[in-house]
Amino acid sequence: MKNLKRTIAIVCGGDSSEHGVSLRSAQGLYTFFDKDRYNVYIVEMTGHDWHVNLHDGTTAKIDRNDFSFMENGTLVQFDYAYITIHGTPGENGILQGYFELIHLPYSTSDVLVEAMTFNKFVLNQYLRGYGVSVADSLLIRKGYEEIVSDDEIEERIGMPCFVKPAADGSSFGVSKVKNKDQLAPAIRKAMLESEDVMVESYMDGTEISVGCYRSADNIVVLPATEVVTSNEFFDYDAKYNGQVKEITPARLSEETTRRVNEITKSIYEILHCNGIIRIDYIITRGKGSNGEIVDKVNMMEINTTPGMTATSFIPQQVKAAGLDMSEVLTDIVENSFK
């Protein structure tokens, strides 16, 4: 009888500084997938080296013509690609374009959405047009650093501020700048990760992260995680070396939780997202229309290939929602074939 199980590629690696983090996410996903339902392989990419890790500990080269490989003399073709590359080429639309060309279903949003969400500055300007609250920011491009002076940045954005790669992840190349003398080295540091650098105003508030995905029936917003760190900000050490306290669900009022969920669902629909995304927010305090003190929900960035280790935000939130990670992944995969 023909094997009716779908064959899944967990695609990891990539060419950014978060290559190693991606490999850990792939291992996490591998443990979560339902092996009774799917044949699951991990495919690792580094530059032109694309290979699949076989179950006997060896590897096989991926044929880039159709994303297939040979195992024990038999041609294996994938039915679906679950992308967990943090950075290029899996989070900026490049790999999505390849999968579109060979007609292979994949887990993330499409080429345009991936390219847009990968560039934080472009995303913020786009969503601002839909009324989403975002921090004030400006863009500095490599080779054009002198167009905006340090004095102009200080006047426009204020101090302190954040300097970060505009088109990459948020773990590397990010600096919290407290005075204008720190701007130039911070910009150079960010440009090691991306030729586009965003200078963003500082917002003092509570940082939360919210997962969201489309099931067969509706858009599911997961319980938010509150991020508490003694570091200057939620940097690499805070994320991956345990220098952070993560509280799921976040300590938000019922009304603020409702608004966060509403905004998250709205952003997912505005962008026509697919699969699991994670949206990071800063909750600040301000005056409402009647002068009352209210929580303001400010979007910071969207991660379309969020970390998927056992301790990552999404698995935490899935558990807090009373859901099973294996069933969530099955829901996402099968939704692509309806």
| Residue 169 clears pLDDT 60, i.e. is over it | no
Q: Which of 171, 163, 238 is nearest to 16 (CA)?
A: 171
The answer to the question of residue 213 being in a domain is yes
The answer to the question of residue 277 being in a domain is yes
The answer to the question of residue 182 being in a domain is yes
Q: Phi and psi at residue 128, in whole multiples of 5°?
A: -60, -35
Q: Phi and psi at residue 143, in whole multiples of 5°?
A: 95, -10
Domain match, 127 and 145 both: no
**CATH number of the structural domain spanning residue 217:** 3.30.470.20
Share of the chain above pLDDT 70, in %: 93
SS3 212: strand
Give 3-state DSSP helix, strand, coil % of the chain, rounded to 5: 30, 30, 40
pTM of the model: 0.91
Domain match, 98 and 119 both: no
| Residue 107 clears pLDDT 70, i.e. is over it | yes
| Residue 233 clears pLDDT 60, i.e. is over it | no
CB 233 within 8 A of CB 250: no
**146 — pLDDT class (breaks 50, 70, 90):** confident
Look at residues 201, 217, 249 and tell me which one is the last residue of a structural domain.
201
Domain match, 176 and 240 both: no
The answer to the question of residue 1 being in a domain is no
- 174-226 per-position pLDDT tens digit: 999 999 999 999 999 999 988 999 999 999 999 999 999 998 889 999 999 99
Q: Would you give the end-to-end CA distance of the chain in angstroms? A: 24
- Token couple for 223: 């319980």
Question: For 8-26, what is the mean pLDDT?
Answer: 94
CB 205 within 8 A of CB 284: yes
Domain match, 98 and 121 both: no
Domain match, 119 and 86 both: no
**CATH number of the structural domain spanning residue 74:** 3.40.50.20
> Who's near 195: CB < 8 A, 6+ residues apart?
141, 142, 167
The answer to the question of residue 196 being in a domain is yes
- What domain range is 191 assigned to? 137-201
**CATH number of the structural domain spanning residue 150:** 3.30.1490.20
Sign of the CA dihedral running 69, 87, 304, 273: negative
Question: For 156-182, what is the mean pLDDT?
Answer: 88
Q: Which of 34, 45, 25 is nearest to 6 (CA)?
A: 34
- 284-337 per-position pLDDT tens digit: 988 777 777 789 999 999 999 999 988 899 999 999 999 999 999 999 999 999
- Token couple for 299: 């979007």
Domain match, 14 and 102 both: yes
Separation between Cα atoms, residue 274 and residue 216, nearest integer Å: 11
Domain match, 218 and 291 both: yes
Q: Which of 6, 16, 214 is nearest to 107 (CA)?
A: 214
The answer to the question of residue 147 being in a domain is yes
Domain match, 285 and 141 both: no
Domain match, 124 and 250 both: yes
Instruction: Work out the mean pLDDT of the chain and round it to a whole number.
Output: 92
Separation between Cα atoms, residue 37 and residue 333, nearest integer Å: 11
Domain count of the chain? 3
CB 22 within 8 A of CB 84: yes
- Token couple for 303: 């991660």
Domain match, 160 and 229 both: no
The answer to the question of residue 163 being in a domain is yes
Domain match, 190 and 229 both: no
CB 81 within 8 A of CB 106: yes
Lowest-confidence region among 33-42, 101-110, 136-145: 136-145
Domain match, 246 and 309 both: yes
The answer to the question of residue 74 being in a domain is yes
